[in-house]
Amino acid sequence: MCSATTAVADLVRRDRNIPGLGLLLDSAALLDALNCRGYALNVEAISPNYLRYKAGMNCLVRYELSMAGKLVTGYAKAHGADADAKLSKAIERPMVDGVSGPGRMILAGQKIIVSTFPNDAKLPSLLRLGDDSFRHRIFGRVFDQDPNWHGTRITRVLNYKPERRFVARITAANGASALTKFYTNSGFLKARGVSRKLYGDKWYRAPQIAGMSKKHAVIAYHWLEGSSLRDLLNERAMSKSDIASMAIVLAEFHASKPRGLVEQDLSVQARRLKAIGDQVGWLLPHLKQRATILATEFAEWLGNLKFTARPIHGDFYDKQVVVNDGEVILIDLDAVALGNPLADLGSYVAHLYRHQVSDGLNGEEVEMQQKTLVSSYESAAGKINAAQLKKYTGLSLFSLLHHPFRDWSDDWPEQTEKLLERVESLFLC
């Protein structure tokens, strides 16, 4: 089993189409290169914590920048064949400087663009958040000039995936709070469509929309008090009753009848699985054959499935469940579609296995949650097919194979292989 250092060196050697890949994956060297180009950076340390990679095309890395006791988020993207066009657009794109220095920096020789928050190539509305006047205009549109939302400011950043989505808690002058999501244009249209179908049918176990703006690609939801199941687990405050309540609410959701939801396209899912298998094989060539075999097996299995048209969450795991005084709410419903409910159950269990491999979640905890989830779900929805659930769990876990690399874990090659072994035990045995 190779180390992360060896695997990265081998990856850089093989991917010649992205000239800046090696520099991008060496954060200290990247910082030195920026300083050598004359950018006046006030950065003491730079730490990568999220990565997206398309072999031969591009690689994006999100960094945490440390300066004078403050943390600032930034990201860098190394380009391949389309680099000249991307660099030209970056030069012309509006930007604002940050506390760490320039808001956008370009290393032309390595085809790398570095941006510090709130500069983002595909989320342009973020630029306006730092300006009081523009920020008030944005939220004025989102809340349709409702005076209750005057003086709104961002009070907590919850998640930021560069060039995809920004999620934050906002608070108005009167103390009211909301959760806001800034999307790409295509992401906004999809999320808005799902939201209208769900809330038009008054599904009450989900965050309710407080406002939205198509122009700025923003949706705001009324703030929910409570903690996610993952937070409760980390705080040693989660109980079996929390899992049981979640399972019952999930069964209720699967039995609901939201109108107009789109059916899951299993052919698209099969292509995505192939892409994940290809990526794993590229990142770790010694796993290529095993990953390819699994992707092929999954595609064949999906092709032979009898389609089930029930509402499903589409990305279900413990962070997507909020508990407050025993009340359970399902959150982040952007991927809701019609499909097989076992996909949600399998996704939840797969994330437990991922958590076990990456963070050392106790095996007894994994077993307790899995058994409680299944038994409580069956009490509400009837007997499920255990063999099929096992396969759906393997399917979901296969979709997470690239996560150790994405999260830039110190031992990502080892974690990836362990997850692959678990997938094989679930699906092939």
100 confidence band (pLDDT: 50, 70, 90): low
Most confident range, picked from 197-211, 251-265, 350-364 = 350-364
Mean predicted confidence (pLDDT) in 4-30: 95
The predicted pLDDT at position 20 comes to 96
24 confidence band (pLDDT: 50, 70, 90): very high
The predicted pLDDT at position 361 comes to 92
Structural class in CATH, domain 124-222 = alpha beta
Is pLDDT above 90 for 67?
no
208 confidence band (pLDDT: 50, 70, 90): confident
Is the peptide bond preceding residue 94 cis, with omega within 30 degrees of 0? no
Domain edges within the chain = 4-116, 124-222, 227-427
Q: What is the DSSP letter of 43?
A: -
Structure tokens belonging to residue 427: 């699906």
Instruction: Tell me the C-alpha distance between 67 and 69, whole Å.
Output: 5
Instruction: Tell me the C-alpha distance between 117 and 28, whole Å.
Output: 19
Mean predicted confidence (pLDDT) in 257-284: 89
Distances (CA, A) of 240 to 128, 164, 229, 372, 402: 44, 35, 11, 7, 30
Is pLDDT above 70 for 180?
yes
Domain 227-427 has CATH 3.30.2290.10: no
358 confidence band (pLDDT: 50, 70, 90): very high
Q: What is the DSSP letter of 219?
A: E
- Give the neighbor-by-neighbor strand order of the sheet with 177-183: 153-161, 165-171, 177-183, 218-222, 209-213
Is pLDDT above 80 for 200?
no
The predicted pLDDT at position 388 comes to 95
Q: Which residues pair with 397 in a beta bridge?
A: none
Is pLDDT above 90 for 131?
no
pTM attached to this predicted model: 0.94
Is pLDDT above 90 for 139?
yes
Lowest mean pLDDT among 99-103, 357-361, 414-418: 99-103
Is pLDDT above 90 for 409?
yes
Crossing angle of the two packed helices 386-398 and 288-304, in degrees rounded to 10: 130
Lowest mean pLDDT among 63-67, 238-242, 273-277: 63-67
Distances (CA, A) of 9 to 12, 201, 282: 5, 52, 13
Structure tokens belonging to residue 210: 């407080």
The predicted pLDDT at position 199 comes to 65
Handedness of CA 47, 95, 33, 412 (dihedral sign): positive
The pairing of strands 177-183 and 218-222 is: antiparallel
Interval 34-59: pLDDT, tens:
888 877 677 778 899 999 999 999 99
The predicted pLDDT at position 1 comes to 67
The predicted pLDDT at position 32 comes to 87
Q: Is 289 exposed, middle or buried (0-12, 13-18, 19+ CB in 10 A)?
A: exposed
Q: Which residues contact 421 (CB under 8 A, 6 or more apart)?
A: none
